Structure 1
Amino acid sequence: MKKTFLLFAALIPMLAKSQSKNTFTITGKIGNLDPNARVYLDWTDVLNDGGKEDSVDVVNGTFKFTGELSGVATCRMALAHHGDGKMKAVYAGDAIYFNFGPENFTITSKDSLANAVFKGSKVHDQEDAYNKKIGGQIMAITKNANYEFNAGTPEQRADSNFLKEVDMRFRKRVGDRNAAQLQFAKDNPNSVFGLIALSEYTNMSKNMEVVTPVYNALNAKLRNSKKGLELDKRIKSVKLTTPGAEAPNFTMKDTNGNPVSLKDLRGKTVLLEFWASWCSPCRAENPNLKAQYAMYKEKGFEILGVSLDSDKKKWEEAIAKDGIPWIHVSDLKGWGNEVGILYGVTGVPAGFLISPEGKIIGNDLRGESLNKKLAELLNK
């Protein structure tokens, strides 16, 4: 008995050492904050299954997160300076996005997360080098465009030509960034940031003839990781959903729990519309969709809305508030929605126009481009 106990006691340091390889600790020090300040962390393991939401109070300007992580995590950290909740911190406050590994590191700043300095994270150092190579984070490019617009005089901001110039510069920077991401993925097939670069590039480009060989050149570990397999599905889904292809069939339940199949709508021109209650651009498009639906419903037009919500109550409330009378389905799995994965949806709103024969005849149509296409098809 004593020998067994001693053997077990000898193993404890070894077990602790082994377990520490899969843990992370983030220590933050932000000065001069409200006593009610709170920090929120949402992270997902890029390469493996796993992720978590967590939050901690800031005590005397200090906070700490610890957790289990076997690979590399991508995360959002948001600071509610006055304890006024996560949503305000994320969407109208102080939020940053970064990657980290199973490591111990610090984040320090005099006033905010936006100005934080990282120390001790090799993954963040690699991410920094990656962002410099591709032209910066997309949020930084967007922030710069907003700054350019707001720096204009009241007369300039009211001038559509000024807005177009700002928009053209923004689009060029995004385009240059996308091209740099593709090149980075080609040059770094063994880097997790090579996989991240190719995944983001694929979100913007539908040219799978360019993407596929770069994906195939990634090392096997990256291709077989969670994010690698997700990218493989998206590559295949784009091939399945190009104009002229037969729209992949599916069955999903409506708000009353009744199954609805895409094939049930054969004989109609169908807009397969991916949206969510929390998506402002989706909700902004609904009045136009309502007008088109009223105009063409009797001519064989139908809308099948697939929600990427995870909260049924919010989904149903949005349907009622917006007064959108077409067919609605969801599996309430959020971004894990099975139909969204099948169709390669990486952002909402996203729409696929399907012919009465079940063929895809258009995608990413909305606003005037959708209205023009429907008029062309149904005003006969």
Structure 2
Amino acid sequence: MKIIKLAALAFLFPVLCWAQAPNFSLTGKIGTLGAPAMAYIDYMDNGVSHEDSVALVNGSFKFAGHISGNAYARMALDHTGGGKGKAVYTGDVIYFYFGREQVTITSKDSLENAVFAGSKVYQEYDAYNKAIGGTIMALTKAVNIDFNRGTPEQQKDTAYMKAVDLRFRKNIQNRTDKQFQFAKEHPTSYFALVALSEAAGSKVDVAKVEPLFNALNKAYRETDMGKELAQRIAASGITAVGNIAPLFTQNNVVGKPVSLASLKGKVVLVEFWASWCGPCRAENPNLVKQYQTYKDKGFEIISVSLDNVKERWLEAIEKDGLDWIHVSDLKGWNNEVGRLYGVRAVPASFLVDAQGKIIGNGLRGEPLNKKLAEIFN
């Protein structure tokens, strides 16, 4: 019997290895860049994040791996050896979709000017962006150009800044409208799901979004992106003010499970944040002050982190002096509680009364302070 089992395992092992064999490659040639130039890639495949890096040799680099379907990537090129962080936030960066394909990326000087070949998925992505008016990054770049057209005096003028901002917001809204239209007109396209997922936002208009979602190709609805959007649609109903807050249990910083149900009888702020979120960290001093003021009167905070690196999460808690309950499954944007609550951006929060009912959404700063003062004073 043991021999049969071993033989069966020996038979299966090559199959398992084959199943994870590389099914995509991204081969690049950017001028003649060499050491210390580095290329970095982060990509999301069906809810699972991956990252890789490679040194450029005479401008050439290659990434390869295995994906289950279409993947969304951020690629950054560090020309001078400044490291990934500098390359990602201030350097030569592109965002794109690719599939199980052999893709070539070429340019004389930069990723920003690169041409893609060999990718049907990228061609569809490019056509989708042209249909909706461009990527968010392109619109952001355009608004910066718009602002810089002004004289130094104009750039200090609030009316000028307001006019630039108004044009930007109008472009964003036009893009969102076109995304809804694209989803309606191309239900069999993968990018209809991409369009609808982005256009739906955090506060989903169920009457508008759900019919479009249900019309999408079933295979796309069953991807991780599709499931996440379905959760957001469902969450928009269950996390409205007046509803009972969805219960959850997640591990704290020492791996001990903590449940929202265990806090019944207290006023609880369910707060979603991350160590890398600037606005979240900026709000922390106010949360510290409010917690110190009301914790002995029955106020509690349970912070759900969307971090995926435990060390950074713990470092931020200690540095900001956050002396309350912290939980996370370290799955980043795929945090199970975040998906349960339909959280698409941070900071996000839900204020829950002693009976477990949601009495406030998105409260922070003075609106939160005022609400807590009404409750406890």
Task: Provide TM-score, normalisation by structure 1.
Answer: 0.88
Spell out the pairing of 1:226-375 with structure 2 (5 A cutoff). Answer: 226-375=224-373
Spell out the pairing of 1:124-273 with structure 2 (5 A cutoff). Answer: 124-273=122-271
Aligned partner of 1:142: which letter?
A: T
Aligned partner of 2:26: which letter?
A: I
Aligned partner of 1:86 in structure 2 is: 84
Q: Percent identity?
A: 58
Per-residue CA deviations over 1:294-334 (Å, capped at 9, x if unaligned) read 34334433221111122222212111111122221222222
Aligned partner of 2:30 in structure 1 is: 30
**Greater CA deviation, 212-221 or 81-90?**
81-90
Query: How far did residue 37 of structure 1 move?
Result: 0.7
Aligned partner of 1:123 in structure 2 is: 121
Please give the secondary structure, in 1, of the residue aligned with 2:363: coil
What CA distance in whole angstroms lies between the structure 1 residues aligned with 2:114 and 2:358?
A: 47
Q: From the superposition, tell whether residues 340 and 270 of structure 1 become closer, same or farther in structure 2 (CA, over 3 Å).
A: same
Aligned partners of 1:21 and 1:102 also within 8 Å: no
Please give the secondary structure, in 1, of the residue aligned with 2:253: coil
**Greater CA deviation, 61-70 or 355-364?**
61-70
What CA distance in whole angstroms lies between the structure 1 residues aligned with 2:254 and 2:21?
A: 47
Query: How far did residue 234 of structure 1 move?
Result: 1.8
Unaligned runs of 5+ in 1: 1-14
Query: How far did residue 32 of structure 1 move?
Result: 4.4
Q: From the superposition, tell whether residues 367 and 155 of structure 1 become closer, same or farther in structure 2 (CA, over 3 Å).
A: farther
Aligned partner of 2:226: which letter?
A: G
Query: How far did residue 187 of structure 1 move?
Result: 0.7
Spell out the pairing of 1:60-75 with structure 2 (5 A cutoff). Answer: 60-75=58-73
Aligned partners of 2:349 and 2:361 also within 8 Å: yes
Aligned partner of 1:12 in structure 2 is: none
Query: How far did residue 273 of structure 1 move?
Result: 0.7
Aligned partner of 2:10 in structure 1 is: none
Aligned partner of 1:121: which letter?
A: S
Unaligned runs of 5+ in 2: 1-14
Q: From the superposition, tell whether residues 293 and 169 of structure 1 become closer, same or farther in structure 2 (CA, over 3 Å).
A: farther
Aligned partner of 1:23: which letter?
A: N
Please give the secondary structure, in 2, of the residue aligned with 1:113: coil
What CA distance in whole angstroms lies between the structure 2 residues aligned with 1:106 and 1:204?
A: 35
Aligned partner of 2:7 in structure 1 is: none
What CA distance in whole angstroms lies between the structure 2 residues aligned with 1:262 and 1:161?
A: 46
Aligned partner of 1:41 in structure 2 is: 41
Q: From the superposition, tell whether residues 372 and 148 of structure 1 become closer, same or farther in structure 2 (CA, over 3 Å).
A: farther
Aligned partner of 2:40: which letter?
A: Y
Aligned partners of 1:182 and 1:197 also within 8 Å: yes
**Greater CA deviation, 290-299 or 61-70?**
290-299
- The one of 70, 74, 77 aligned to 2:75: 77
Aligned partner of 1:44: which letter?
A: M
**Greater CA deviation, 357-366 or 130-139?**
357-366
Aligned partners of 1:271 and 1:354 also within 8 Å: yes
Aligned partner of 2:258: which letter?
A: V
Task: Provide TM-score, normalisation by structure 2.
Answer: 0.88
**Greater CA deviation, 124-133 or 19-28?**
19-28
Aligned partner of 1:3 in structure 2 is: none
Aligned residues: 361
Q: CA RMSD in A?
A: 2.4
Query: How far did residue 22 of structure 1 move?
Result: 7.3
What CA distance in whole angstroms lies between the structure 1 residues aligned with 2:365 and 2:161?
A: 20
Aligned partners of 2:105 and 2:114 also within 8 Å: yes
Aligned partner of 2:305: which letter?
A: S
What CA distance in whole angstroms lies between the structure 2 residues aligned with 1:355 and 1:163?
A: 41
